[in-house]
Amino acid sequence: MRTEPVDAPDRDIIDQLRIDGRQSFGEISRAIGLSEANVRQRYNRLLALGIVQVVGMSDAPKLGEVEAHLSLRIRGVTVESVAHKLAAHPEVKFIGACIGSFDLSVDLKCDDIQHLSNFVHETVRRIRGIEHLETTTILEVLKDTYLWEGFREPQALKPTD
């Protein structure tokens, strides 16, 4: 859990990193109006707290890889125990606990459709406690953004007729 609050300047730094994670502290400082030293200090604090992580992301379908989303309903065991078993596999990129029709939401990245099929049938379906599994395969990424609304200019209100 966070021990320090994230304030508006922290969010501005995060927004700038989401626009371009390779920006220098100087570029970020000019964009948000803080000193370079202040941006560096805030970035290092956000990094140490585990609030930010700057990484490169690929578009799996463009690389010939297959991405899939799994929705899992768990019964008879804890959701956490299933999540831990799934998290041990490199194919699993995201796991979120849910409320609603499903207990876990899981994102996978596999080398190809055969790899996906094998992973779902030979690994996921063998985990004790999974009562129901729905798989959705990503054919094309249409939008993938990690930008907070904070970086955008406010939209001008349009007059109504």
| Angle, helix 8-19 to helix 25-32, in steps of 10 degrees | 120
What is the location of CATH 1.10.10 in the chain?
8-48
Mean pLDDT of the chain, nearest integer: 86
CATH of domain 60-138: 3.30.70.920
- pLDDT for 101 equals 95
What is the identity of the amino acid at 130? I
Rounded distance, CA 25 to CA 46, Å?
A: 14
Query: Torsion-angle region of residue 50: left (phi > 0), alpha (psi -120 to 50) or beta?
Result: left
CATH of domain 8-48: 1.10.10
Confidence class of residue 146 from pLDDT cuts 50, 70 and 90? low
Rg of the chain taking only CA atoms, in angstroms: 20
* 143 pLDDT higher than 80: no
pLDDT digits over 57-74, tens only? Answer: 777 777 778 999 999 999
Rounded distance, CA 69 to CA 124, Å?
A: 12
Output the six-digit token pair for 90. 């490199």
What is the location of CATH 3.30.70.920 in the chain?
60-138
Rounded distance, CA 141 to CA 123, Å?
A: 26
In SS3 terms, 64-119 reads as CCEEEEEEEEECCCCHHHHHHHHHCCCCEEEEEECCCCCCEEEEEEECCHHHHHHH
